[in-house]
Structure 1
Amino acid sequence: MPVDDPDQTFHVTTAEQLRAVSNLTRHRIMAVLRFEPATITQIAERVGLAKGSSSYHVRLLERAGLVKVVRTRKVRGVTERYYAIAAASIALPDPGVGEPDVLMRHAVADLEAAPTGERHVRMAHLRLTDAQFTELGKRLQALADEYRALSDPALPDVSMVFALFRPARGTGEAK
């Protein structure tokens, strides 16, 4: 079910929706549509796909309610459709313990494809109280929100990913 208000969060709840967002190509198509509507041809060019492949993936995303047609226009007798992301934010269900985290897998794939010199990657191992852990999570989210508000579709794409978590026991944590 698409969300009509772009300020809302779309919650992925069905198997069809989860399959749609679990594909790296469809993840990249949604990234293209995050800031501005695009046609199948424009999507294909931005993602580096054939138009037929782009159309196939967009149809699956549309069927799952993750993207929607926001306008159409006639071009030489053909109806051209402009697609956009269904909501400003898409919330994925938390994976179970030991299950793959779709969002992080896509982020790692995008990071690995990014040109060297065009990325900043750091990892910090911390020891925090529960209150500090919660506060750091809020501050990271606020920082992401602050820069999201500054986003300009005319500027190059930038992705920011953060993961704040307590490692499972037995992965180096003192017992």
Structure 2
Amino acid sequence: MTADDLPETFHVTTDDQLRAASNLTRHRIMAVLRFEPATITQIAERVGLAKGSSSYHVRLLERAGLVKVVRTRKVRGVTERYYAMAARSITLPDPGAGQPDVLMRHAVADLEAAPADGERHVRMAHLRLTDEQFAELGARLEALADEYRELSDPSLPDTSLAFALFRPAPREQAEADSE
């Protein structure tokens, strides 16, 4: 099975799925499986975990339906399982008011764990946009991410892209919340 054979999107809808996807280690395991299937041993090596820990996290992801076994093979009498993502992308529900945004927390954790001397492009811009400009910019960012996802080559090094386009809480509300 290749990434082309996968459904386009898996929508996280249950609490078990959300718990499975919300864990940083499992997020990193799903990143390993984004482009090609891997065994528990391969996942453990790429994520930097013991095989037992990798196996535990993969089982939780599998029970939640986020990853699945796509092929098996016998190696010295042992069945080796290859796991892959259940879909090309996983969509999490929007966080409720005051709840953490799991995707952005994972993105920040991955950024902080990236080599300090590695190339990176990080920028924050404060804009004032009409509703139409806001919608257009969001659509353009999503289209750009989709375009480059289509160009992704599993033989190349991993690259992460995270963006958040949002309207912050009004200043009065933010000040009241911090008191």
TM superposition score normalised by structure 1: 0.94
Could you tell me how far 1:140 is from its partner in structure 2? Answer: 0.4
User: What secondary structure does 1:124 align onto?
Assistant: coil
Answering whether residue 39 of structure 2 is matched by residue 29 of structure 1, we say: no
Does the Cα contact within 8 Å between 2:7 and 2:86 map onto a contact in 1? no
Write the mapping of 1:1-175 to structure 2, written as runs, cut at 5 A. Answer: 6-116=6-116, 117-170=118-171, 171=174
% identical equivalent positions: 85
User: What secondary structure does 1:25 align onto?
Assistant: helix
TM superposition score normalised by structure 2: 0.92
Ranges in structure 1 where 5+ consecutive residues have no aligned partner? none
Could you tell me how far 1:118 is from its partner in structure 2? Answer: 2.5
- Give the letter for the 1:129 counterpart: T
Aligned residue pair count: 168
Could you tell me how far 1:119 is from its partner in structure 2? Answer: 1.5
Separation in 2, partners of 1:77, 1:115: 40
- Give the letter for the 2:94 counterpart: D
The alignment yields a C-alpha RMSD, in angstroms, of 1.1
Could you tell me how far 1:47 is from its partner in structure 2? Answer: 0.1
**Structure number having the greater helix percentage:** 2
Separation in 2, partners of 1:139, 1:52: 42
User: What secondary structure does 2:119 align onto?
Assistant: coil
- Give the letter for the 2:135 counterpart: T
Could you tell me how far 1:8 is from its partner in structure 2? Answer: 2.4
